[in-house]
Structure 1
Amino acid sequence: MSQPRRTSRRRAWTVLTLPALLCVLAACSGTPIAGEGVDAAPSASPSPSGPPGTLFDNFHYSGPEDSALAANGWQVRTGGGGPGIKDTWSADGVGFFSDPTAQGGRILQLQSSTDGTEQGTRQAEVQSTGTSLFTGTFAARVHFSDKPTSGRDGDHVVETFFPISASDSSTDYSELDYEYLPNGGWGHVGPQLDTTTWYKADPPDRVTRAHKRRLEGWHTLMVTAMDGKVTYSLDGKELFTSSGKYVPREKMDIHFSNWFIDLPFSGGPRTWDMKVNWFYYKADEAVSQADVQKAVDGFYSAGTNHIDTVPKS
């Protein structure tokens, strides 16, 4: 079951300033997936157009320092705070690489790493900015990992996709979670996928359902928040629905995150990879998985890497 949020996600966010970007360029290029290059990809379209209330991105960026990343409303997390191992968020594990298994051949990679010590741990997260997403359909094609890319298995790692309020202390706090725990955690044995709708972060008030299944590989994760209910779907099949007070109450940002619950052993260095192929949002509409994929296919066919026609008010 999802762990209560213990510390604010927002207070420790920092913007990648020029010196930090130079550091990233010099030393933080990330680790490419075997057989993949790190060639720069074309940045997103500067003047997107398309259906009203649509956000789409397929992460065709050259790296965390790509100016188009911030221009298109994405931020790489650095600095302190939780969840997981506090104060270990780093741009080191964020990269954009070629991947022949991905639609369009490009991915966002979130790589978390640890040697079993706090000082040797790095967690990775990318979020949208602007808190403009509310009701409608959220969808992402995500690759979960059941085993570390390198090193010993056994870590309690959490691979996640979720819309969330800008502040944990908001009166109308909203959060809609997918959390995959390949090795379990918080006293539960994995593999396990948690789907959770939050009403309050502190004290924790949420409804959740755990799904005991192994999910290594690519999956389309969807959250439909419409007509007083929230429905979670995996590859077109409904998993869980919440209603009543367990629905979004304010606009949210999107997060993709890869982090450790705890550090159960030392055992040398190891890395865990989570990959994101694309993200799609349609405001105020319940869109089927088939229609989501049709829209995404259309963007790829047109060579559209990014589009945002969601009203900002």
Structure 2
Amino acid sequence: MSQPRRTSRRRAWTALTLPVLLCVLAACSGGPGDDAAAPAPSASPTPSGPPGTLFDTFHYSGPDDPALAAHGWEVRTGGGGPGIKDTWSAGGVGFPADATAQGGGVLQLHSSTDGTKQGTQQVEVQSTGKNLFTGTFAARVHFSDKPTTGRNGDHVVQTFFPISPSDSSPDYSELDYEYLPNGGWGSVGPRLDTVTWYKADPPDRVSHTLKQHLEGWHVLLVTAVNGKVTYSLDGKEVFTSSGKYVPREKMDVHFSNWFIDLPFAGGPRAWDMKVNWFYYKADEALTQADVQKTVDGFYGAGTHYVNTLPQS
């Protein structure tokens, strides 16, 4: 059974980044030093990318990099929940080098707390296009089983999920991956919850829990086509939903790292979640091998960002 629905799931958002550039090519480069004209290997995608594709390696200089907003990403700094309400901060968003990541760089979500609300910082980054619907959603994500610094024991939630723009939408849709290394809501960890939502309030969803440690890098993949949603972890299917438990409207994609509660005040500690890349292909159910081949092609071409989705 999935955890209780988080209150105030959709929040007031404020864009940290500069206003979106008025004229951005759909397949412009992802950051300083990119070579958009670099030719792709003959067997790999071109830098412009095939139709219906969104791809990003998070090749940015920081949360205030104008390209981040131009490429349709927003850092949360508004109020609301879930977790410790009104503690969302851009201070935990970074794009450091990482030798363990494909291409050597990541989006890092660094959440921290000292056990008090005043000393808590939660982190979330979301897309802003609201044009992701059926197809394949995939991300290479690094989960943490223990804090980067400080004492272990927090009920932290490390997530990747497409979701409707509003909880009150009549066609509400949400597809969740949630990793809880120490459990939460009365459960013990570790646990990976995969959840398909039909309605936010009152909660109406179906779910599956995988109880195992997942420290390290994993490819999280969701396919939503032909009336069926399939969740796969590192190429292995873990859960499916169908019937009314499928996307019914276009969604944004979110990455977040937050605390359910503050179980102790034993000094400062910090938790890191990392995202290597995100890939979406509209209207097609791809395997992990399909996804990785395309991603490898983009990396081989020196392509950090592709967006060939229809404008909405």
TM-score by length of 1: 0.90
Match runs of 1:66-81 below 5 Å: 66-81=65-80
The amino acid that maps onto 1:274 is M
How far off its partner does 1:42 sit? 3.6
Q: 1:53 aligned to 2:47?
A: no
Correspondence for 1:258: 257
Correspondence for 2:297: 298
Task: Please state whether the residue corresponding to 1:259 is helix, strand or coil.
Answer: strand
Distance in 1 separating the partners of 2:122 and 2:209: 24
Distance in 2 separating the partners of 1:174 and 1:292: 23
Distance in 2 separating the partners of 1:309 and 1:174: 23
How far off its partner does 1:41 sit? 5.3
Distance in 2 separating the partners of 1:68 and 1:43: 12
How far off its partner does 1:9 sit? 1.9
Correspondence for 1:222: 221
Distance in 1 separating the partners of 2:5 and 2:217: 27
Q: CA RMSD in A?
A: 1.6
How far off its partner does 1:79 sit? 2.0
Task: Please state whether the residue corresponding to 2:103 is helix, strand or coil.
Answer: helix
The amino acid that maps onto 1:228 is G
Correspondence for 1:6: 7
Give the conservation status (yes or no) of the 8 Å contact 1:43–1:61.
no
The 1:254–1:204 alpha-carbon spacing in structure 2 relative to 1, beyond 3 Å, is same
How far off its partner does 1:8 sit? 3.9
How far off its partner does 1:16 sit? 1.7
Match runs of 1:120-135 below 5 Å: 120-135=119-134
Match runs of 1:21-170 below 5 Å: 42=33, 49-170=48-169
Distance in 1 separating the partners of 2:255 and 2:94: 13
Task: Please state whether the residue corresponding to 1:98 is helix, strand or coil.
Answer: coil
Give the conservation status (yes or no) of the 8 Å contact 1:44–1:60.
no
How far off its partner does 1:92 sit? 0.5
The amino acid that maps onto 2:266 is G
Cα distance per residue 1:22-79 (max 9 Å; x no partner): xxxxxxxxxxxxxxxxxx8546959961200000000000000100000000000002
How far off its partner does 1:165 sit? 0.4
Correspondence for 2:28: none
The amino acid that maps onto 1:6 is T
Distance in 1 separating the partners of 2:101 and 2:245: 34
Give the conservation status (yes or no) of the 8 Å contact 1:55–1:281.
yes
Give the conservation status (yes or no) of the 8 Å contact 2:115–2:266.
yes
Task: Please state whether the residue corresponding to 2:95 is helix, strand or coil.
Answer: strand
Task: Please state whether the residue corresponding to 1:146 is helix, strand or coil.
Answer: coil
Task: Please state whether the residue corresponding to 2:106 is helix, strand or coil.
Answer: strand
Task: Please state whether the residue corresponding to 2:309 is helix, strand or coil.
Answer: coil
Distance in 2 separating the partners of 1:264 and 1:238: 33
TM-score by length of 2: 0.91
Q: Which runs of 5+ in 1 are unaligned?
A: 19-39
Give the conservation status (yes or no) of the 8 Å contact 1:5–1:202.
no
Distance in 1 separating the partners of 2:47 and 2:293: 18
Give the conservation status (yes or no) of the 8 Å contact 2:137–2:222.
yes
Task: Please state whether the residue corresponding to 1:193 is helix, strand or coil.
Answer: strand
The amino acid that maps onto 1:3 is P
Number of residue-to-residue matches in the alignment: 291
How far off its partner does 1:107 sit? 0.3
Correspondence for 1:15: 15
Cα distance per residue 1:189-245 (max 9 Å; x no partner): 000000000000011100011110100000000000011010000000000000000
Q: Which runs of 5+ in 2 are unaligned?
A: 19-30, 38-45
Give the conservation status (yes or no) of the 8 Å contact 1:2–1:196.
no
Q: 1:192 aligned to 2:191?
A: yes
Match runs of 1:279-294 below 5 Å: 279-294=278-293
Task: Please state whether the residue corresponding to 2:182 is helix, strand or coil.
Answer: coil
Distance in 2 separating the partners of 1:305 and 1:291: 18
Moved over 2 A (4+): 40-48
The 1:193–1:113 alpha-carbon spacing in structure 2 relative to 1, beyond 3 Å, is same
Distance in 1 separating the partners of 2:17 and 2:216: 35
